[in-house]
Structure 1
Amino acid sequence: MSDSNTTDFTNPSTFILLGIPGLEAVHVWISIPFSVIYAIAVLGNLTILFIVKLEPSLHEPMYYFLCMLAITDLVLSTSTLPKILSIFWFNSREIDFNACLTQVYFIQCFAAIESGILAAMALDRYVAICHPLRHSTILTKPLVAKIGLAVLLRNGIVVMPYPFLLMRWSYCRTNIIPEPYCVHIAVVKLACSDTRVNSYYGLFVLFFVLGLDVIFIAISYMQILRAIFILPTKDARLKTFLTCGSHLCAIVIFYIPSVIYSLIYRFGQNFPQHVHVLLGNMHFLLPPMLNPIIYGMKTKQIRGRLLGLVTR
């Protein structure tokens, strides 16, 4: 299929992914840090899953949620990076129409699932700090499993209309996507129909999923800080607050790039296209890489078990 910007088709069988527009000449060099990011993400999250399964003392709600986060990060990074690397290494730019819609679904769904798991982890921190004596009786294994299932079902169902809405439109402008993977807003821009319903539904998902999760996390930490300030000594307050350090870092690396990317996408028309694309990549690639590092370094039980395995 031609790479021209104007075509006469209505329903393309394939889309053309440009990779990082303007930086095509250095795609091979850009692939090096992307490969390292993917390797660290896969190895780190698999290590987290292995250690939690291996160590009975880690069979607690916090680590069950961490395992859910690791699985989500594995799926999220695997949904995007193999195709990105195939573009960088082999110039494999074509992607089937249905495969593109599937990629849109997985990216949107598991990004939303990650937000839900971060909210569930905030609940765990709230119970652990505000009701420490009742932690094991409140967050039982069945309840943790139900929370994980609820997060999966909520986001799987809420995101389901995305590919079906995209399937309805006619694509008569071009089949070229100026991204290294299929992202919802980029595909919508190719349609020559009235796509306001996609915009409205996207805003609904933004507020219903990410908005509610952020509000829940904020309320949880307001209660946590209130409980911490009641503690009698400064050392006790600091020690208790540091138990939330890993979770706070995970929140920052997930939500801050998302907010920056959204703002630049909507208001930063003067930014070069490759800046938009790189920021979008960081939004999806940094959390899967950094989450296992953060929890591995800051969680004593995981760090100790990992050092024991390495030493052995």
Structure 2
Amino acid sequence: MTTQHNVTTTTEISDFLLNCFVRSPSWQLWLSLPLSVLFLLAMGANATLLITIRMEASLHQPMYYLLSLLSMLDMVLCLTVIPKVLVIFWFDLRSISFSACFLQMFIMNCFLAMESCTFMVMAYDRYVAICHPLRYLSIINEQFVAKAVIFILARNVLLTMPIPILSARLHYCRRNVIENCICANMSVSRLSCDDVTINRIYQFATGWAMLGFDLILIFLSYTLILRAVLRLKAEGAVAKALSTCGSHFILILFFSTILLVFVLTHVAKKKVSAEVPVLLNVLHHVIPAALNPIVYGVRTQEIKQGIQRLLRKGW
């Protein structure tokens, strides 16, 4: 199978070219530094959090197991997207193989959906902790975490697997230049010679169904939490209750906000530069990953103390 990089050929292609800010070369230079810093911060902070939770027996609790899962998802997403983008910026190595492109597409869709699902389970954890504190240990236990992890993996792998499969079965016979820094489903599919209506409908339906379902349950959980908190009469009880779920709420708010900004920018692409949605898509894979462990580390006393003890042992 031969590779052709011109638009006139009808030969099947075997690789793609990622057109990552080639119309704005100055963007590549200026973005590479903050992107590198964010990538190193995300990997370092998440690795520190995982090691702390692993080494500290006091953190072997369901909430921190879920936080560990979130950190692992963040690290995989970063490793899937950011190194390739930096290689393009630094060495202009824009080529990506057919199989690598669709593997990246699967990981991005699947792991972002798993993050959303993990936030939903964490919201339920906070709901039980605030609204049913006496039953918390009997409901949220290691068995619950195991079942939750199986659900997160099964739901999102099964529902997102058809996205790269539908794209891979298309015939790519004319163009192979992806106008993106990553192998986003529709950025790749629109290069095909075939009709991509099914791809577009499935991506839209599953994406909004999964994220919408998760966000509705998260909103419901926090509505019930707020109602329960407002009924508390004891002095300082409201502040204490809210502090137990403050970190989680901040992460959900940030995850949802940056996703909403990306969607709105994509919808209004005629009014903004074509580079802006591409930039937001890249940043959505690294900024939450960098902030998640920092927010939890700063706001959660047990994690701060665990990190401090590990640092003292290291010295």
Dislocated runs of 4+, deviation >4 Å = 1-4
More divergent stretch after superposition (20-29 vs 143-152)? 20-29
The alignment partner of 2:129 has SS state of helix
Aligned partners of 2:17 and 2:94 also within 8 Å: yes
Of all paired residues, the percent bearing the same amino acid is 38
Q: 2:84 matched to which residue of 1? A: 83
CA–CA distance in structure 2, aligned partners of residues 181 and 159 of structure 1: 17
Q: 2:295 matched to which residue of 1? A: 294
Q: 1:212 matched to which residue of 2? A: 213
Tell me the matched-pair count.
311
Structure 1 residue 255, shift from structure 2 partner? 1.3
More divergent stretch after superposition (63-72 vs 194-203)? 194-203
CA–CA distance in structure 1, aligned partners of residues 235 and 25 of structure 2: 54
Q: 2:118 matched to which residue of 1? A: 117
Q: 2:75 matched to which residue of 1? A: 74
Structure 1 residue 2, shift from structure 2 partner? 6.4
Aligned partners of 1:21 and 1:179 also within 8 Å: no
TM-score, with length taken from structure 2: 0.94
Amino acid across the alignment from 1:145: A
Q: 1:160 matched to which residue of 2? A: 161
Q: 1:194 matched to which residue of 2? A: 195
CA–CA distance in structure 1, aligned partners of residues 290 and 8 of structure 2: 39
Aligned partners of 1:7 and 1:172 also within 8 Å: no
Unaligned runs of 5+ in 1: none
Structure 1 residue 245, shift from structure 2 partner? 1.0
Amino acid across the alignment from 2:112: A
Residues 213-272 of structure 1: CA deviation (Å, up to 9, x unaligned): 011101111111111011004621122112111111111221111111112112231211
Structure 1 residue 138, shift from structure 2 partner? 0.6
CA–CA distance in structure 2, aligned partners of residues 14 and 177 of structure 1: 10
Are residues 1:7 and 2:8 paired? yes
Aligned partners of 1:22 and 1:273 also within 8 Å: no
CA–CA distance in structure 2, aligned partners of residues 88 and 62 of structure 1: 38
CA–CA distance in structure 1, aligned partners of residues 135 and 58 of structure 2: 18
CA–CA distance in structure 2, aligned partners of residues 284 and 134 of structure 1: 36
Q: 1:242 matched to which residue of 2? A: 243
The alignment partner of 1:284 has SS state of coil
Unaligned runs of 5+ in 2: none
Q: 2:58 matched to which residue of 1? A: 57
Q: 1:141 matched to which residue of 2? A: 142
Q: What do you get for the CA RMSD once the two structures are aligned?
A: 1.5
Amino acid across the alignment from 1:92: L
CA–CA distance in structure 2, aligned partners of residues 14 and 66 of structure 1: 37
Is the alpha carbon distance of 1:272 and 1:2 closer, same or farther for their aligned partners in structure 2, counting shifts above 3 Å?
farther
CA–CA distance in structure 1, aligned partners of residues 251 and 154 of structure 2: 22
Are residues 1:185 and 2:186 paired? yes
CA–CA distance in structure 1, aligned partners of residues 48 and 8 of structure 2: 47
More divergent stretch after superposition (161-170 vs 150-159)? 161-170
Is the alpha carbon distance of 1:295 and 1:10 closer, same or farther for their aligned partners in structure 2, counting shifts above 3 Å?
farther
The alignment partner of 2:33 has SS state of helix
